[in-house]
């Protein structure tokens, strides 16, 4: 019997349910704590979380319990998987990889746990690339290679209204140096070496978003790429950003507008927007 490789990721991948279902990708939920209510992030209403953040209420995040990984792995094995590739948010941002590795030791089939060194749709596109390879009959090594190649080549461009939420959550990384930015100067960020890093300072929201689009178009470099625009709460910008990118990146493979996971949004803050450029092949 040929090997069947299951692909598992976590909710920071921002994968829409329809995409995860299409490619049979298991998604383990990262945890959110809002005023002492602790649960899977998908059990919280996004609007309520945004309102709570604006009101200054206490919000923290935590990795999934190893048990959540164990039962997800067990379900994959019971469904006929002969091995699992489990790819997750950067270990410099979360202990999710540690929890996955702890659970992997208790499963009877091989479980390969990968630290993506990124998050968001860079992780999401990597999970889809891995699942495509698995669906085409690839063995575990080929599935791992597909995931790692996407992680290494993908880029996150991130706009935030303020760095305050990253500071509160302790995920500010090298962007700490931008904390003194004036209110009118908007920070653009990226993910580098597994953590949030500064990219540029731009005066005003519209100029910052235009700069982010320019950077994304330049990154695509005329090569075929999957591109996602990620938002945390609806704004007036994400659809126009998507249209601009479609006009300026003719070699685009897939274009998505997705909601940021609530856990990511809890660290970036209301109004955050991102663009993921993930070269294909």
Q: Tokens standing for 116?
A: 């993506």
pTM (predicted TM-score): 0.92
SS3 labels along 98-126 = HHHHHHHCCCCCCEEEEECCCCHHHHHHH
pLDDT of residue 175: 44
- Orientation angle between helical segments 238-248 and 205-220, nearest 10 degrees: 30
pLDDT of residue 239: 84
pLDDT of residue 223: 83
Q: Would you call 230 helix, strand, or coil by DSSP?
A: strand
Q: Would you call 250 helix, strand, or coil by DSSP?
A: coil
Q: How many CB atoms lie within 10 A of CB 188?
A: 20
Angle among Cα 152, 156, 169 to the nearest 5 degrees reads 110
Q: Would you call 221 helix, strand, or coil by DSSP?
A: coil
pLDDT of residue 183: 55
What structural domains does the chain harbor?
Answer: 5-29+64-153 (3.40.50.10170), 155-279 (3.30.1180.10)
Q: What is the pLDDT along the chain (281 residues), one digit of tens a residue?
A: 466 999 999 999 999 999 999 999 999 999 999 988 999 999 999 999 999 988 988 889 999 999 999 999 999 999 999 999 999 999 999 999 999 999 999 999 999 999 999 999 999 999 999 999 999 999 999 999 999 999 999 999 999 887 777 776 554 444 444 444 445 778 899 999 999 898 988 988 899 999 999 999 999 887 899 999 999 987 778 888 988 998 998 888 989 999 999 999 988 888 899 999 999 97
Rg of the chain on CA atoms, in Å? 18
Determine the Cα–Cα distance for residues 93 and 95; give it in Å rounded to an integer.
Answer: 7
Q: Would you call 74 helix, strand, or coil by DSSP?
A: helix
Determine the Cα–Cα distance for residues 224 and 79; give it in Å rounded to an integer.
Answer: 34
Determine the Cα–Cα distance for residues 32 and 57; give it in Å rounded to an integer.
Answer: 13
Compute CA distances 28 → 97, 227, 231, 242, whole Å: 11, 23, 21, 28
pLDDT of residue 172: 47
CB within 8 Å of 55: residues ≥ 6 apart:
none
Nearest Cα to 28, choosing from 79, 95, 81?
95
pLDDT of residue 2: 60
């Amino acid at each position: 019997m040929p090997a069947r490789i299951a692909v598992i990721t976590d909710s920071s991948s921002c994968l829409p349910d329809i995409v995860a279902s299409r490619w049979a990708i298991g998604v383990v939920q990262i945890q959110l704590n809002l005023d002492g209510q602790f649960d899977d992030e998908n059990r919280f209403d996004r609007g309520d979380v945004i309102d709570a953040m604006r009101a200054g209420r206490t919000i923290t995040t935590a990795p999934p319990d190893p048990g959540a990984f164990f039962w997800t792995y067990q379900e994959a094995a019971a469904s006929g998987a002969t091995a699992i590739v489990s790819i997750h948010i950067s270990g410099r941002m979360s202990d999710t990889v540690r929890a996955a590795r702890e659970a992997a030791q208790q499963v009877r089939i091989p479980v390969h746990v990968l630290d993506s060194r990124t998050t968001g749709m860079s992780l999401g596109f990597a999970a889809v690339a891995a699942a495509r390879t698995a669906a085409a009959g690839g063995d575990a090594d080929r599935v791992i290679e597909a995931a790692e190649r996407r992680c290494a080549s993908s880029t996150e461009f991130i706009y935030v209204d303020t760095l305050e939420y990253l500071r509160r959550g302790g995920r500010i990384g090298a962007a700490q140096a931008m904390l003194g930015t004036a209110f009118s100067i908007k920070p653009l960020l990226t993910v580098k070496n597994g953590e949030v890093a500064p990219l540029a300072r731009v005066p005003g929201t519209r100029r910052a978003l235009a700069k982010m689009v320019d950077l994304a178009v330049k990154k695509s470099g005329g090569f075929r790429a999957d591109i996602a625009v990620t938002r945390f709460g609806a704004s007036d910008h994400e659809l126009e950003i998507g249209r601009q990118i479609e006009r300026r990146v003719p070699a685009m493979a897939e274009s998505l507008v997705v909601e940021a996971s609530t856990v990511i949004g809890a660290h970036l803050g209301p109004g955050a927007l991102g663009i993921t450029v993930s070269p294909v092949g």
